[in-house]
Structure 1
Amino acid sequence: MSTFLMAASQAIAPPYAPPSGVEHVNVRHTERFTVVGNHLSQHPELSLAARGLALHIQSLPPGAKVGIKVLAARLPADSEHRIAEALRELEEHGYLKRIRERSPEGKVYTRTVSYNHPDPAALDKARTQRKSIKPRKPRPTPAPNPNPAPSPAQPAEPAPLPRVPAPTAKKPPRPPLPQPLNPRPQLLQAAALLLVGLQNQDPELRLTEEQINFLAPGVAAWFERDASPAAVRKALTEDLPRPVRFPAQLVRHRLTVSLPSGRSLPAAFRPVPMQNCDGCDRAFRASAPGRCDDCAGEANH
């Protein structure tokens, strides 16, 4: 009987179940490794793309290029738009800073600073303040002089300068967006397609449908002035500030201040066209066909 119970208990015993959850197999690194804090690897608000990009940037040597196009070429599995979004996340949470500076030659470039802690500047500031606060030793009180010398006359304090009120002049209004003289539907459609395609050239120039409808007449005005689509695209995408926080305002500003001259100039600046005189067939300048001054004078006499 006991033998039967032992066999039955062995038959119904549950098989060995391995523990659930992750199991780590760690190898100690002695070269080519990067230390990353859990505040980054387990950040609750950063996407996986942003955390992976931060780890990649922190593993690069100083001076390595980290522009959007360079990172997209180095990381072909991610698009330029995804990399731009990840860089913006890292900036918002204090792991990255991009500073626009101008070289002595006048060229504008972007300096990128990568932080392995989200707020090292605040930590350094607090540490410096703790070191600088030291208890002051009381100064010894000097003994009174039995024969004090007369103190020299103190110079009079200068009169305070009058306060200059802050300027109250209002800023001049922004110039209006250029408008085409002949807003044909084909022209506005071509302008809208150009604005939609800007995000393909730079992901930070993504515009909403409402913004495209508002800016399309400005692009059409450039087309009327003999500007090619390539010239308009270059004017809107060349030497952009980083990051582009307000793409619609930037495009509006460039369309307005860089508007080229062309055939659609104001009437006061247009040259008077040449006409052939109906009387003597000589060429003369006039806004409409007719007779020259000599033939018109003879007809009046």
Structure 2
Amino acid sequence: MIVLGIESSCDETAAAVIRDGSHVLSSVVASQVSVHHPYGGVVPELASRKHIEAIVPVVNAAIADAGITPEQIDGVAVTQGPGLIGSLLVGFSFAKGFAYGHGIPWIGIDHLEAHINSVFLEPNPPAFPFVALLVSGGHTSIYLVTSHLAFHPMGQTRDDAAGEAYDKVAKMLGLGYPGGGVIDRLAAKGDPTKIAFTRPFLDKDQFDFSFSGIKSAVMRHLQLHPDPSQTDQQHIAAGFQAAVVDVLVHKIINAAKVKGCSHLAVVGGVAANHGLRNAISHDATTAGISVHIPAIEFCGDNAAMVAAVGYHRLKAGQHSTMEEDVYSRVKFRPVAN
């Protein structure tokens, strides 16, 4: 089965063609970082306008790169939510029209569900059941995953997501948007012991997160030490990242132990963070747990992961109707197996 995936939940317009749920024939992503950089974050109205400009060229490029014709596509999968309503509507409406015009089934996909399935785009995916840490700019959660379509929430952030905290700290330091990559690079040059920030574990035996406190701790440090030098910025970044990573790594490894899982996955935009990738790989291996992290290109928002889920849902006989609409908030739909 060949599935066309479409993603437009935030500020990337993406399309991909996937065969049988795991073979990536093409993946095209049009980023809007340069558009939103001057504003220090995503401007929803600008994002939706850029999606309108990019959707047709991006889909055409994905089909061409896959070496197929539109007539060879068996189904369409598109992000339905959560995300920015204006942005979601562009991809969702296009997918409806494409599927209707070609007489093929289509399915709306939950963005978080797609991120979890991104690990199955890799050569050695995890065996079920496994625990997954989904960590991005908008979401930080832990799930027990028992099949491609069954996800059981274990914990989530109570305030800021980890990626959101990265963006806010980067803004405090005058580093611009997005903040994840630049903080990661600065942290690699700094000493995490120079400036020690609190670890917001909440209850170490539970799986909820809170990152607003560490963001506030960085703010207080900057109020006491304004105009940091480049070296000071590196130490601040290193201390901040070490605190965030320590919490994320502890929680997901503990979740795997509690559920008796020998596999864990880390997915979402922050999974591209080198500090997190290195720490989880080291600590999980020490604990005898196999780690699965998507390639960098599949950590951020992309359409390949959307098509991967779409394959399994379409194969199960599920499809969406023309009356369905997008949604902005988390609306996760675990399926009992």
Q: Same fold (TM over 0.5)?
A: no
Q: Which has the higher contact order (CA 8 A, sep 6+)?
A: 2
More helix by share: 2
Based on CA coordinates, which of the two structures has the bigger radius of gyration? 1
